[in-house]
Structure 1
Amino acid sequence: MQKYFLLLMMLCTTSFLVAANGTTEKNPPKKKKQFVVMLDAGHGGRDTGTPGTGRYKTTEKDIALDVSLALGKMLEKLPNVKVIYTRTKDTYPTLQQRAIKTNKKKADLFISIHCNAQPGKKGTAYGSETFVLGLSKNKSNLEVAKRENSVILLEDNYEETYGGFDPNSPESLISLIIMQEEYLDQSIEIASYIQKEFKTTAKRKDRGVKQAGFWVLSKTYMPSVLVELGFLTHKKEEDYLNSKKGKKVMTNSLYNAIKKYISLHVDISSDAKNTVVDHHESEEKAVSRVYKDVTFKVQLAASSKKISTKAYNFKGLKEISREKAGKIFRYFYGETSDYEEIKRKKEAAIRKGYATCYIVAYKNGKKISLTEVLKQ
């Protein structure tokens, strides 16, 4: 009886220690949320994309896939970053399938990779450009959108699948815009990083960040961009994009831009280890870092609706402000010149459920580049 009692006491003590350390199978430590990047190699399968000048067997779909796969391998080496692909082979996922998969996997960033083409036989246009969703009166931007959207015409029952969307109708393009307005600022941000890298790292002609009505961008509910690596109708650029060196340099440029975006939005440490910081730990370790004449805010959302800045409309968060730009209202949390303080505000917003919130900077009432401020 005494042996039984001692054995029982030992078992109870062991169970208590295991529970206290939180190592039981029922209560495993929570894993940190991964940053998910969806890489979309444009076209594929029977949809070849632009054939270029016709001097190569490869077409747009092949170059897009090569760059997408190479980029994914590089990004997967970053800690706490997960890469998903819309395709990894010469297959054709429909635009709808690409969007559904991206949203289902809850991606934090959507990058669609393409190559450009100039109508006609001249082939004088060259350079790289990155598109975000939006309306544009520019004829060339509209033509690019029509060309990329026209792949839906290859699908059976496309009118039913896409709700009567007509890739050749400007009116159809207008209906797309409202879907992505919440993420427009972040889409423009990553697009600007990409274009800067194309210009400085790849030494390509910078055709800028542009807006156009792409169906696939409108249906992805996260920051999303469509990248045009260059023109396959321009002989020299076609040679470059078909070369190992060209594809490698363009891939490196995209990697640098995406890594920079992630580092600013996921609190990656600056000690070159790129370790994702736990939100609670960062609050304890943070110190003051004040930037004179600069005001930082956390942007929570953007909407065409005017919403009262009361805490009950923002999951209990106080210190909410609202700003109107055109027809869009932007909503912010916090206001300080201390960068470490605004980082803590951002972390608090994330814990409240604002996973896509981000920090913005203002000087003399005008929005300025956060990256430039932090260089000071």
Structure 2
Amino acid sequence: MKIAFTFLILLFVGNIYGQSNNFKVTLDAGHGDHDFGAVYSGRIEKNIALAIVLKVGRILESYPKVEVIYTRKTDVFIDLVERANIANRADSNIFVSIHCNANKNTAADGTETYVMGMNKIASNLEAAKKENAVITLEKDYKKKYEGFDPNSPETMIGMTLMQEEYLENSISLASKVEDAFALLGKKLRHGGVKQAPFMVLHKAYMPRVLVETGFISNPAEGDLLNSEQGQDDIAKAIANAIIGYKNEYFGDGGTETFEEKPSQILNENPVKTNETPGNN
């Protein structure tokens, strides 16, 4: 009897340890339901973001000790703060929000991976401003976000005054995503790591990035994002970057030494276009 009881205790403790030892990734598909995101020539951001997230999730779930949490797996609307809270409640190791970019200048192209922070570059701020404007679709958003106004530069600057505890690791994760995109060659031009005050990143208390997988407004790139093969390639790149980050910081074999790569430096020189980025 005593032996059986001891065995059950050990089994229970082992299960708890096994669960706590998982590398937890929260994947966030931008937009959803009545929030379509960017829409160009039948290409809909909310659908593309969800398709890529589900593909990334399936790849990650094939790895041992990797647990995937989704902010949404269907076409539903999730408040920005709730997306971050889902990751916080799960005690996730990283948070990855996936989107498509857009621009009135349809020649604009390339990926961008953002970390949380303030940057004076107008295009970065405009990207965050448009993304943060999603909160106006939420009920009682002024009360929920304590008067936050997505159109006010003052409130956006105020978001970044608190200490950025996870910036270094966020940049590392973002650089791995951009390096993985670079391996896709001519399929996607990688635009590098950038910094902007995204509300969805601000409220997640862990290393976190927002990935703009390409410009849905660019006819060629938009068709790539909307295709099965394009989504597969992008999903594999993002998943490889996440596993690379896990292996570096959480791998059993200790920390690997990586050569510094160009993408590890925040990109202060955005691609010159005639317009600032459109709806993300």
TM-score of the pair, normalised by structure 1: 0.65
Aligned to 1:226: 210
Q: Is it true that 1:370 corresponds to 2:268 in the alignment?
A: no
Alignment of structure 1 residues 22-101 onto 2, 5 Å: 22-25=6-9, 28-30=12-14, 31-32=17-18, 33-52=21-40, 55-56=41-42, 58-101=43-86
Partner SS state of residue 371, structure 1: coil
Say which SS state the counterpart of residue 165 (structure 2) adopts: helix
Q: 1:198 to 1:27 in 2, by over 3 A?
A: closer
Distance in 2 between residues matched to 1:89 and 1:180, nearest whole Å: 34
Distance 1:99 1:180 in 2: 18
Residue identity matched to 1:192? S
The yes-or-no answer on 1:261 pairing with 2:245 is yes
Residue 24 of structure 1 aligns to a residue whose secondary structure is helix
Gaps of 5+ in 1: 1-13, 270-342, 344-358, 360-368
One-letter amino acid of the structure 2 residue matched with residue 44 of structure 1: G
Answer yes or no: is the 8 Å Cα contact 1:179–1:219 preserved in 2.
no
Structure 2 residue identity aligned to 1:207:
G
Return the match for 2:190 from 188, 195, 206: 206
**Is the CA contact 1:202–1:250 (under 8 Å) kept in the aligned structure 2?**
no
- 1:68-217 alignment to 2 at 5 Å? 68-118=53-103, 120=104, 122-179=105-162, 181-201=164-184, 203=186, 204-217=188-201
The structure whose Rg is larger is 1
Tell me if 1:250 matches 2:238. no
Q: How does 1:281-360 map to 2 (within 5 A)?
A: 343=254
Structure 2 runs not aligned, ≥5 long:
261-280
Superposed displacement of residue 124, structure 1: 1.4
Kindly tell me: are residues 264 and 175 of structure 1, through their superposed partners in 2, closer, same or farther at Cα, counting changes over 3 Å? same
- Describe how 1:271-286 pairs up with structure 2 within 5 A: none
Residues 226-261 of structure 1 show CA distances to partners (whole Å, capped at 9, x for unaligned) of 000000111110111111111110001001100100
Letter in 2 for 1:165: F
Q: Supply the distance in 2 between the matched residues of 1:97 and 1:224 (Cα, whole angstroms).
A: 15
**Percent identity of equivalent pairs:** 43
| TM-score normalised per structure 2 | 0.86
How many Å separate the matches in 1 of 2:74 and 2:97?
15
**1:3-55 alpha-carbon deviations (Å, 9 max, x no partner):** xxxxxxxxxxx63x557xx4134773432321110000000000000002xx2
